[in-house]
Copies of this chain bind each other. A is one copy, B any other.
Amino acid sequence: MSEYTITVVKNENPKPKPASDQLKFGKYFTDHMFIYDYSEAKGWHNPRIVPYQPIVLDPAAMIFHYGQTVFEGLKAYRTKEGHIQLFRPDKNMERLNLSNDRLCIPAIDEEFAINAVKHLVHVDSEWVPDAEGTSLYIRPFIIATEPYLGVNPSSMYQFIVILSPVGAYYESGINPVKIAVENEYVRAVKGGTGEAKTAGNYASSLKAQEIVSKEGYAQVLWLDGLEKKYIEEVGSMNVFFKIKGEIITPELNGSILNGVTRNSVIELLRHWDLPVTERRITMEELDEAYRNGELEEAFGSGTAAVISPIGELAWGDKKLIITEGQTGEVSKRLYDTLTGIQFGSVEDPFGWTVKVK
């Protein structure tokens, strides 16, 4: 099908690549990007890989005013053998379309989008770093481009994919972080956009994040917006707790992001025959388990850090020191197995990895 043919314009002036040990998160970008246009008359059309270049938009383009936009985040990993592979890109594109639906953005063809990502990564394959723990972060996003100040869905969009080589999230491997429970600000609420991966959710989180980071905390733990009772998620991670052997994560309720890592953690735990439950859990319950010595582990899950053990949880005046501030056994096993599968050093019994040609 001709509309499925991606044209490629090679960058004749490739940039120098940063050294593998100099990588940061989201600071460097590769030589190419993918662009795909949408208009009401043509639908999604003109898919192309072009040199990395600025986006040029009318100042009235709706993205600048009404935030009609969605995004995704996944990674390409280089295996020991030098191959490149993606981790569950189908899940990301499925979620992109869920986000699209919530934001009134026309759906994309998921399979085509996966192929576009693969094609782009292939073109920039020299940018996939090979040092321990490094990878190529992939950022697909869609923006409303119609120049019009009415509060309506746009009639024009661009679907863009950019790539960024990133370092190991923790320089010294997996490392517990300090998290603060947020009691004032709200990220999302049922009926809102919390389940969608859309810019506004992140904009609204900046203030709380800024306050706690001044106090030395890495991220905030969000409570539900209605009662400020139920645990939702952490910054840009989903969250798990191990209480008396049971591993608990908040159930998907419409205001929590359905994380790909969260889903992979649940499947792995089931595969290992460990008890894992998706259910509502309050800070009170967590605190009580802590005081009874029954809170054994806590960790976040997300594409950036994979598994992030929580060593300390501040809740008002209380400080919960979890697993003595160390990395718990289950956290470690999940981290090793997931990163092992992602980098190809551990067998993948789930068919999660997808080779880039």
Contacts and interface: CB of A to CB of B under 8 A. Distances in A.
A236 B152 CA distance: 12
Contact of A27 (B69, B139, B148, B190): B148
A352 interface: no
Given A66-B202, A148-B26, A210-B153, A60 B225 contact: no
Interface string A122-148: 000000000000000101010100011
Given A104-B210, A203-B103, A52 B63 contact: no
A54 B26 CA distance: 25
A25 interface: yes
A186 to B, nearest CB: 3
B68 A206 contact: yes
Given A25-B149, A192-B189, A65 B200 contact: no
Interface string A50-77: 0011111111110111111101000000
Interface residues of A, number: 66
A102 interface: yes
Contacts of A52: 59
Copies in the complex: 2
Interface of A: 25-27, 29, 33, 52-61, 63-69, 71, 102-104, 137, 139, 141, 143, 147-153, 160, 162, 164, 184-193, 198-207, 209-210, 225-226, 235-236
For A52, A66, A153, the residue with the greatest tally of chain B CB atoms inside 10 Å of its CB is: A66
Given A150-B26, A225-B191, A203 B54 contact: no
B59 A151 contact: no
A226 B228 CA distance: 11
B59 A64 contact: no
A199 B202 contact: no
Closest 4 CB pairs of A and B: A200-B200, A26-B149, A67-B199, A186-B191
A201 B200 contact: yes
Contact of A103 (B71, B190, B207): B207
A193 B199 contact: no
A200 B204 contact: yes
Contact of A206 (B26, B27, B151): B151
A66 B191 CA distance: 20
Contact of A55 (B64, B68, B102, B236): B64
A186 B139 CA distance: 28
A184 B191 contact: yes
Contact of A63 (B63, B68, B187): B63
23 contacts: A26-B60, A27-B148, A27-B149, A29-B60, A29-B147, A33-B59, A55-B58, A65-B71, A66-B199, A66-B203, A67-B67, A67-B202, A67-B203, A102-B207, A104-B210, A139-B149, A151-B236, A152-B206, A152-B209, A186-B192, A192-B192, A199-B200, A225-B225
